Structure 1
Amino acid sequence: MPEVPDIPTAWRQLLERTPGTRQGDPLVIEAAHAQPKLRGFYPWPSHGTLKFLRSAPPWDGNHDDLPFIVCGGPPYKVYTSGYITLLGEPATPQEAAALVVAHLPADGTISDE
């Protein structure tokens, strides 16, 4: 089994579209990477989404509690974890990434504003 990359390496592999790694929507990945706060999370493209995880696998505990982007837009959709709340339907990947940043927890809780 290949070694799981650290957070900076995972971002680099996504941006470079490294063969043999998870791939996602390049426009969404570039827009998310342009947000310094999102670069601190592990990027996880899966099932047409780009999720932001608190740590690289293997996981123990709550790693998937942050807002994420549903790709395939426009419009793009941004949800809280588990598709609980639709936060918005931005027209561009950049707006989607900014919406995720706007709803990141400041104190360990998720904002549904």
Structure 2
Amino acid sequence: MAAARGRGPADAVEAHWQSLRLSWQWRHAVHRIRRPGRPYPGIVPLLEAAAAQPRLRRLYPFTSHFALLFSSSTSYPWTVQAGSIEPLHNGRFMVRRRSPFAVIGEVETAEEAVALVLELLPTDPEPVITAST
């Protein structure tokens, strides 16, 4: 990540998408070994569905308590765009708006959840920037 940040915000965003997907895939694999048969929230398919969308792919993804959020800043404090998507244990996905905070809906698939977040995204989201430290 440090090398990607050194190359600029676009590289930091791309590196973090890859890192986030790999780390959640690993956590899911460990869960299947340690707790076979127990459900695991659909964060991996959610990350894959979100990564397939160019408008979201240019934003910095981060997770908090399994919820996926998107920032126009590549470091804390985050500048959250649109809303968040939370994979639920029942296999569904809950979409929340950030401002004003509200539940937008609960849908069956990661693709439907991503479509709802895309509707909440400003037509021209802020460019990705690296926050000063």
* TM-score, with structure 1 as normaliser: 0.75
Gaps of 5+ in 2: 6-11, 25-41, 126-133
Cα distance in 2 for partners of 1:100, 1:58 equals 21
* TM-score, with structure 2 as normaliser: 0.64
CA RMSD, Structure 1 to Structure 2 (Å): 2.7
Q: Secondary structure at the match of 2:70?
A: strand
1:7 pairs with 2:49? no
Are the counterparts in 2 of residues 74 and 90 from structure 1 also a CA contact under 8 Å? no
1:68 pairs with 2:74? no
Deviations 1:24-56 (CA, angstroms, capped at 9, x unpaired): 821111111111111011000111200011111
Cα distance in 2 for partners of 1:83, 1:28 equals 23
**Identical-pair percentage:** 31
Of 97, 100, 106, which aligns to 1:80?
A: 97
- Report deviation, 1:58: 3.7
Cα distance in 2 for partners of 1:27, 1:42 equals 18
Moved over 4 A (4+): none
Task: Give the partner amino acid of 1:26.
Answer: V
Deviations 1:28-87 (CA, angstroms, capped at 9, x unpaired): 11111111111011000111200011111043xx70242110122532110111671111
Partner residue of 2:29?
none
Gaps of 5+ in 1: 19-23, 109-113
Q: Who wins on radius of gyration, i.e. which is larger?
A: 2
Task: Give the partner amino acid of 1:89.
Answer: E
Partner residue of 1:32?
50
